Amino acid sequence: MSTISFGIDVGGSGIKGAKVDLDTGEFIGDRIKILTPHPATPEAVAQTVAEIIDIAEWDGPVGITLPCVIRDHVARSAANIDPSWIGTNVTELFGAHLGDRPVSVLNDADAAGLAEARYGTDAAREGAVIFLTFGTGIGSAFLMNGHLFPNSEIGHIEVDGKEAEHRASSAVKEKKDLSWKKWAKQVSKVLIAYEKLFSPSLFIVGGGISRKFDKWVPLLTCETPVVAAELKNRAGIVGAAMAANEEFQP
């Protein structure tokens, strides 16, 4: 019998959850999506998460991602979510809204990186790999032979006088209406800065924009090879479900 778990990915526009078959990394049934409440305070998000669990009629452990640094059960940053998350004990918060079942809460990019390392390309499990998500911000997961070093947050490294995610997130491309060529130039700057600092053997790029990787990945000028993530927008939920099953808590 296959192992089934439940993952929830808290994003800027939607909160999405699904049952996941951990043998295959595929969803079981439909993905449930509810618009992210605004402001996305801890209480409001926890209520939405509870709604998703109710709709799914799931009564086991739950994994939840947040766009925050999570250490010792506490959210320690909130770059693209309500600042009131900082200092919140996320295990207690979600536990209280979810009938005190076991919850595992982790950074969204870390979850996606874990999922990619388990179900994605073989190269994701070999050597020093930096997994990046391009969306509202730039999320990162550091992987060594498929194992995660959590909370790397390199989207906030300053590159040429500007935070990487303010230079090259996909939100910046949209806001400034940048061509693929112009945006790829900014992404290259960021990746070249990362390779100087960390010398990875591979970059894996995820996030919604990785679906159009043929438009921009071939334009990148860093030396390190770059491949598109395989799980696309499934990765966050799948990684959250893995975390729940393994009781992973950074």
Q: Are 75 and 90 in contact (CB under 8 A)?
A: yes
Burial (CB count within 10 angstroms: exposed 0-12, middle 13-18, buried 19+), residue 213 = middle
Q: Are 216 and 180 in contact (CB under 8 A)?
A: yes
Token duo for residue 193: 């800065």
CB of residue 247 to ligand BGC, shortest distance in Å:
21
According to the binding rule CB under 6 A, does residue 107 interact with ligand BGC? yes
According to the binding rule CB under 6 A, does residue 153 interact with ligand BGC? yes
State how far the Cα of 3 lies from the Cα of 22, in Å rounded to an integer.
Answer: 5
According to the binding rule CB under 6 A, does residue 133 interact with ligand BGC? yes
Q: In this chain, which stretch among 22-30, 43-51, 134-142, 221-229 interacts with ligand BGC, using CB under 6 A?
A: 134-142
The Cβ-side half-sphere exposure at 190, using a 13 Å CA radius, reads 30
CA angle (117, 121, 124) in 5-degree steps:
40
According to the binding rule CB under 6 A, does residue 152 interact with ligand BGC? no
Partners of 159 in beta bridges: 162
Binding-site size for ligand BGC (CB under 6 A) equals 15
Report the residue number, 208 or 218, with the smaller CB distance to ligand BGC: 208
According to the binding rule CB under 6 A, does residue 108 interact with ligand BGC? yes
Residues 42-81 that bind ligand BGC (CB under 6 A): 67-68, 77, 79-80
Q: Are 105 and 73 in contact (CB under 8 A)?
A: yes
CB of residue 23 to ligand BGC, shortest distance in Å:
27
Report the residue number, 85 or 94, with the smaller CB distance to ligand BGC: 85
* Closest residue by Cα to residue 134 from 30, 226, 33: 226
Q: Identify the residue among 63, 165, 194, 226 touching ligand BGC (CB under 6 A).
A: 165
According to the binding rule CB under 6 A, does residue 18 interact with ligand BGC? no
CB of residue 164 to ligand BGC, shortest distance in Å:
10
| DSSP code for 218 | G
According to the binding rule CB under 6 A, does residue 164 interact with ligand BGC? no
Summarize as ranges the residues that interact with ligand BGC (CB under 6 A). Answer: 67-68, 77, 79-80, 107-109, 133, 135, 137, 139, 153, 155, 165
